[in-house]
A and B are shown apart, each in its own frame.
Chain A
Amino acid sequence: MSNTQPRPVESERIALKARNVSFSWEDTPLHWVPGDPFTTHTINVLHLLLPAGERWFVHVYKQALPLIKDDRLRADVVGFIGQEAMHSQAHDEVLPHLRELGLDPTPYTAQVDWFFEKLLGDRTLPPGRARRWWLLERVAIIAAIEHYTAFLGDWVLNAGELDRRGADPTMLDLLRWHGAEEVEHRSVAFDLFLHVDGGYRRRVRTWATAFSALVFLWQRGIRFFLANDPTLTGAKASFKDFHQRGRQGTLPATGDMLKSIPRYLGRGYHPSQECSTAQAVAYLAASPAALAAEKREAA
C-alpha cells in the first residue's frame, strides 16, 4: 500500500455515546498532586482551556453536519459532539471550586472565552466561499487539537506515577474519563477533516496554528496559576520543571511530545494507528463517574 494515504486501523473503531457524568469537588485540595504545585497547575490549565475550547468544537461541528455525506461518519460526529459537550461541562464545574480555594481563574478564562468565541468564532463572513473556507479551516484546527487530546488521554490513562504520588482520586477520574473518551473518539475529527477536505497543506498549516496556540495558552496558564496561587510566593514556571516532571512521569515526557509532531505530519497518519481503544474501554468500564452515569441512564 502506498505511504501517501492515511491508513485507518478498522479494529480501533467503536460506537460513541455521551456519558452523563457528575463530579463533586468539595474534597479536592488546591494542590491535588500532593506537594507538587507545578504538576497540579500544569494539568489544571486543562480546566481553563477546555470549557471554552470544547464548547467551540461543538459550535463548529454543528455547522459542519450538513457537509457530511456518509452515515457512519455522521453517527460518529453526533456521538463526538455529545462527548465534547460533557467534557466542557465537567471541566467548567471545577472552576468555581478553584475560586473557593482562593484561586480565581476568571481573568484567564475570560480571555480564553474571547479567544474561542470571538477570534475563532463565526466572524461576519459572506455566505459562500469565505464562510466555507473558515469552516474547513476550523474543522482542520480541531483535527490537529484532537491529535493532542488523544495523546494526553493516552498519557493520563498510563500515568501510574500520579497514583503513586497520591493524587486526588476524583480529579484523576475526571482526567481519565475524559482521556478515555478522547482515545475512544480520536479518529472522528481527523475523519471529518478527510471527508470535507483532507488537503495536506491545510493539515500542516492548521497544525502549526493549533500547536503554537496550545503552547502559548498553556505556558501562560501555568504562569497565571503559579503567580496567583494564594499558598505560593514567588513561584516561577520554567521549562526545566516541565522536563523534569516528564522524566518523573507526573507530566508527559518532552521527548514523547516532540515525537508526536512528525507522526501527525506524516502523509500516512491516521489517529487509529495510535493509542488503544481497548484500554480506554476498559477504563470506562471501571471509572466511578462512568459507572454512576450508566446507572443514571438505566434508572
Chain B
Amino acid sequence: MPKPRTLALIAGAALLTRRALRRRVQGSPLWPLPALDPPISGRPRSRAWKLLLTAHETIADGVVRLRLEGPDLPRWEPGAHLDLVLPSGLVRQYSLCGDPGDSSSYTVATRLVEDGRGGSREVHEQLTEGMELEVRGPRNRFPLVDAPAYVFVAGGIGITPILPMLRSLPDGTEWRLLYGGRTRASMPFLEEVRKLAGDRLTVVAEDEDGRPDLAALFADPAEGTAVYCCGPEGLMAAVEEALPEGAALHLERFAPRAGADGDTEFELELRRSGKTLSVPAGSTVLAAVRGALPDLAYSCEQGFCGTCQQRVLEGEIDHRDELLTDAERRDSMLICVSRARSDRLVLDL
C-alpha cells in the first residue's frame, strides 16, 4: 500500500497535467494533430445533382433542347459539358450551350442519332418535362484559351460548345465561324449564331452548297490563331488536314468510341519493367499488364472505382472512364477501360 503522501503527489500531478492539457486544447481546439496541407478529403472529383427538366423542345430537325433547373448550380466556362444520367442508367455527355452566368439552369441540346447507342433516342423519346434527372459535372475538356485570333468550325450539333464561346469573346476579338450541316433546317441555333456573328459567319448547308471550303477559311491566318472544331469525325479529320502552320487545333469529340468495334491493336511499353506488350482489339490494357505484372491492383474493371489508375509517360490516351478529372486525364488513365488513340502507349510501370 503506497503512502498517503505518494498518493497525494500522484493525484496532484494528474490534476496539473489535466489542466495543462485542457488549456492547450481550449487554445487550439483541434490540438494535437497536424493537418495535411493541401488537404485531400472534401474535394471529390465530381458531384451528383438532381435537376428538374423544365423544357424539352424541338429546335431544329432532329434536335431537342433541354432546360434543367436547380438551385445554386456550379458555374462553368464555355466549352464545358455535363454528364447526364438517363433513366435507363446510360450516362451521356452533352455540351452546355446556355448562359454560363445562369446559376439556376443548365441548357443542353442533343441530336437524335438513328443508329446510335441509344442515349440520344432516350433523350428524345423518353424524357418529358417535369422529370428529375441526375447530372454530374460540369467539366471542361474544351476550354477556350487566350489567343490573338480564333477560327471556329462547327458541324451540326457541334455548335453547342462553340455557341457560349462566341458569346463570351470580348468585343474587338478577331474571329470567324464556319457552321456546316446537312440542311439548314437541321442546324440548331442558326438564327442566334447569325445575329452574333454577322459577316464573320459562313453557313454551309450540304444540300445547297456542297462541302465546306476549308482552304478559304484558313487563308492568311494570324500568327497563333486558335482553331476550335466540333463536329462529325469526317469534318474534324478534314480540319486537321487543312490546318495552316502556326495554328493550334482544339477538337471536341461527341462521344468516346466505346465498344469493341473501331478498337485497334496497339503497342504497350511498361517503362520501369522494361517490357513491351501488345493490346489486341478485343482486349484491355489491364489484361495485357496483368499478364506481365500479376500483382497489379485493379477492381471494378468498368472505369469507376479508380484503383487501376496509372501514369502515362507517352502516347495519346483514349479515355473511356467517367471518373478522372481533366487534370488527371492529362497524364494518367484507368487501364481497365481506356485505350490508346496512338499506336503506342508508355506506362510508368
Contact = CB atoms under 8 A, between A and B. Distances in A.
B88 A93 contact: no
A66 B297 CA distance: 9
A96 B297 contact: no
Nearest to B135: A24
A89 B300 contact: no
Interface range for A: 35 or more
A286 interface: no
A241 to B, nearest CB: 19
A96 B49 CA distance: 12
A113 B40 contact: yes
A299 B90 contact: yes
Contacts of A200: none
B297 A81 contact: yes
Contacts of B36: 110-111, 113-114, 117-118
B305 A86 contact: yes
A159 B31 CA distance: 34
Contacts of A61: 297
B89 interface: yes
A55 interface: yes
User: Which of B29, B41, B134 gathers the greatest number of chain A CB atoms within 10 Å?
Assistant: B41
Interface stretch (A14-22, A149-157, A250-258, A276-284): A14-22
B50 A26 contact: yes
Nearest to A109: B41
Contact of A93 (B44, B72, B85): B44
B307 interface: yes
B134 A24 contact: yes
Interface in B290-348: 295-300, 302, 304-307
B116 interface: no
Nearest to A227: B29
Interface range for B: 35 or more
Interface SS majority for chain A: helix
A113 B304 contact: no
A48 B91 CA distance: 29
Nearest to B86: A299
A17 to B, nearest CB: 7
Contact of B37 (A22, A85, A109, A110): A110
Interface in A72-120: 78-79, 81-83, 85-86, 89, 92-93, 95-96, 99-100, 105-115, 117-118
A18 B305 contact: yes
Contact of A113 (B39, B48, B91): B39
A296 interface: yes
Contacts of A66: 295
A240 interface: no
Interface in B19-37: 29-30, 33-37
Interface in B256-295: 295
Contacts of B34: 111, 114, 118
Interface in A246-299: 292, 294-299
A164 to B, nearest CB: 26
Contacts of B49: 24, 26
Given A18-B304, A224-B30, A299-B89, A65 B295 contact: yes
Given A26-B70, A117-B40, A224-B30, 13 more contacts: A22-B85, A22-B134, A22-B136, A24-B50, A27-B50, A81-B297, A81-B307, A95-B44, A108-B30, A111-B35, A113-B41, A115-B33, A294-B89
